[in-house]
Chains A and B, each alone.
Chain A
Amino acid sequence: MIRLVILVALTSVARAHPAPMTEVTITRGTPTILAMRLPASELAHVNVTTSDQVAAYLPRHITSNWELALGPVRSIVVDGHPYWETTVTVTGDGALVLYDDAITHEVRNHYIVMHDGSETRVLQYPQRLLIGSPRPLRRTWVRYAAVALGVLGVLWLWKRRH
């Protein structure tokens, strides 16, 4: 009977295996918005376990030369795992530099998965630069135009020689 109880207890608590990651989605604009989702289990490593503590803790670990305003912090569950979710509004002028090490400064294998438009990047300690200055003007049509001009130039040279 005791063995059966142990067995039932063991079979009921299998959990998701992969360690949860921090997810940051950046929406550029005026202002720029960061949607952040941080796994509660990993933040607990720095004794941050309530929404008030998260609200006090995050501004110390998300830094920028622009002004940051933290929105309300709420608790959610995704795939059975508890997370803290919030938004950060970023406003300012000039080049934007933005750092985040809310969990990675303590948990060395923790990843920040950052979505910035169609780009996805993964950051891990000691890397903490979410974004730097605004992207250089490298729009797709500019690249296509440059390639097209190059091809036309080669054709023109070839034609002149023949």
Chain B
Amino acid sequence: MLRSLLFLGVIGCSERAEPVVPAAPLACSDAGGHSDVASVVAAAVAFRSTLTDEQRAKLDLPFTREVATMWSNLPVGLVPRRGVRLGDLDGAQTKRARALIAAATSSCGRKLVNELRLADDLIAPLDRDPQMHMDWGAGNYFIAFLGAPSASAPWELQFGGHHISLNLTFNGHLPSATPMFFGAEPVKFTTPDGKAHAPMQRQSMAMGALANALAVHPDAHLSGTFTDVVKGVVIIREEGKPPSGGYDTGYPFAWDTTDRGMLVGKLAPDEQKLVREAIESYASLPGDALSYPLIATYEMALGETYVGVAGGNDLAKSGMYVRIDGPRIWMEFIVQDGVAFPDIPHYHALWRDKLADYGGELK
């Protein structure tokens, strides 16, 4: 079973990523959750009610800067997470956990979470470096409540593990679904049931199409080289100690005001449409109660928003980088060197909001 899974995975992901094909992103169906406070709180309370006292002690965390910034995109073996581990849940608890994620995300968001966990299961057998255990695997994803789930008081639902970090804040100063990180390795694969998966197809296609359009605009070309997202997690290395950190300790960031690329307003209408599609491909991952106001805010500010590209426009080549940088919006997409499959690049994506990260609750 393991061997067949691995063979299928290798076969599925040994193909190079498709070249950039500008295309309209897939729309999220209406079958997903809405991220509205009432349904997420109800699902959160229902999930919590199935847990033991010991599990609740792990689930319930304070909504403080120190705890909220402890998310990461790195494998759990390198950067431990807080919260309840999905792999430790029984059947009933798992069902409620799934219902919670479904309530908090759109159909696209839920599909992304599920496919990223499948991808991690696929690469788990490759976790064989004796000096550094990655602890890949679908079980190594964690749910935490920062603050008590409430219809009125601020609290955060944190879901994360390797290549995904959802930080959804409810009842904060501003509607907030950020910081949100997602990445995929492999970028496409086939599971033993014969189903093909491409977890970040919509986002990579949208960002790839945008990079393609920006290639002809010298003003949009960012200087320098990019090897990962810029406003992500930070690892601290101290003499004589093992590396630490790997969390969002850089928050709040100084947002650069130079070398931002090209104003969206200077693009042609069909190119501006690609910017909107790229924004929506990220911002529609939470349910519509969060995504609608955020998308509206970002699109109203398109005139003051910049887009930039570096490293070409080939989704199969490491270093390809696209950024959308507005008064509030900060979205990054990068094609990175492979880790589990070193010769096959993989994707990282980051969505931040300069005002509404963590609901604007952390000072």
Q: Which residues does chain A contribute within 8 Å of B340, judged by CB atoms?
A: 10, 14
Q: Bound complex: CA of A11 vs CA of B126, how far in Å?
A: 5
Q: Given A16-B132, A110-B227, is A122 in contact with B237 using a C-beta cutoff of 8 Å?
A: no
Q: Given A13-B342, A122-B236, A126-B256, is A45 in contact with B225 using a C-beta cutoff of 8 Å?
A: yes
Q: Which residues does chain A contribute within 8 Å of B74, judged by CB atoms?
A: 17-18
Interface status of B249 (Cβ within 8 A of chain A): yes
B7 touches A109 (CB 8 A): no
Q: Bound complex: CA of A80 vs CA of B342, how far in Å?
A: 15
Q: Which residues does chain A contribute within 8 Å of B54, judged by CB atoms?
A: none
Interface status of A127 (Cβ within 8 A of chain B): yes
Q: Which residues does chain A contribute within 8 Å of B47, judged by CB atoms?
A: none
The residues in A between 18 and 33 inclusive whose CB is less than 8 angstroms from any CB of B are 18-19, 21, 23, 25
Interface status of A93 (Cβ within 8 A of chain B): no
Q: Given A10-B341, A14-B340, A106-B224, is A124 in contact with B132 using a C-beta cutoff of 8 Å?
A: no
Interface status of B78 (Cβ within 8 A of chain A): yes
Q: Mark B111-135, 1 if CB is under 8 A from A, else 0.
A: 0000000000000011111011010
A127 touches B10 (CB 8 A): no
Cβ-closest chain B residue relative to A105: B224
Interface status of A115 (Cβ within 8 A of chain B): yes
Number of A-B pairs, beta carbon distance below 8 Å: 102
A19 touches B227 (CB 8 A): yes
The residues in A between 96 and 140 inclusive whose CB is less than 8 angstroms from any CB of B are 105-111, 113, 115, 120, 122, 124-127
Q: Would you mind naming 12 contact pairs between A and B with Cβ atoms under 8 Å apart?
A: A14-B128, A14-B340, A17-B78, A21-B237, A80-B132, A107-B226, A108-B226, A109-B226, A109-B228, A109-B229, A113-B234, A113-B235
Q: Given A3-B7, A23-B237, is A79 in contact with B227 using a C-beta cutoff of 8 Å?
A: no
Cβ-closest chain A residue relative to B129: A14
The interface of chain A, by Cβ under 8 A from chain B, is 3, 6-7, 10-19, 21, 23, 25, 35, 37, 42, 45, 79-80, 105-111, 113, 115, 120, 122, 124-127
Q: Bound complex: CA of A71 vs CA of B126, how far in Å?
A: 41
Give, as a whole number of angstroms, the nearest-CB distance from A100 to chain B.
Answer: 15
Interface status of B14 (Cβ within 8 A of chain A): yes
Q: Bound complex: CA of A126 vs CA of B222, how far in Å?
A: 13
A14 touches B243 (CB 8 A): no
Contacts A10-B341, A21-B235, A109-B232 aside, 18 further interface pairs with beta carbons under 8 A come to A6-B14, A13-B342, A14-B126, A14-B129, A14-B134, A14-B339, A16-B129, A17-B74, A17-B75, A17-B78, A18-B78, A18-B235, A23-B237, A23-B239, A109-B229, A110-B227, A122-B234, A122-B249
Q: Which residues does chain B contribute within 8 Å of A18, judged by CB atoms?
A: 74, 78, 235, 243, 246
Q: Mark B128-155, 1 if CB is under 8 A from A, else 0.
A: 1101101000000000000000000000
The residues in B between 48 and 78 inclusive whose CB is less than 8 angstroms from any CB of A are 74-75, 78
Q: Bound complex: CA of A68 vs CA of B322, how far in Å?
A: 38
Cβ-closest chain B residue relative to A120: B236
Cβ-closest chain A residue relative to B136: A14
Interface status of B254 (Cβ within 8 A of chain A): yes
Q: Which of B10, B126, B224, B339 contacts A107 (CB 8 A)?
A: B224
Q: Bound complex: CA of A131 vs CA of B277, how far in Å?
A: 43
Give, as a whole number of angstroms, the nearest-CB distance from B7 to chain A.
Answer: 6
B232 touches A113 (CB 8 A): no
Interface status of B230 (Cβ within 8 A of chain A): yes
Q: Given A6-B10, A6-B14, A120-B236, is A11 in contact with B125 using a C-beta cutoff of 8 Å?
A: yes
Interface status of B29 (Cβ within 8 A of chain A): no
B250 touches A108 (CB 8 A): no
Q: Which residues does chain A contribute within 8 Å of B10, judged by CB atoms?
A: 3, 6-7, 10
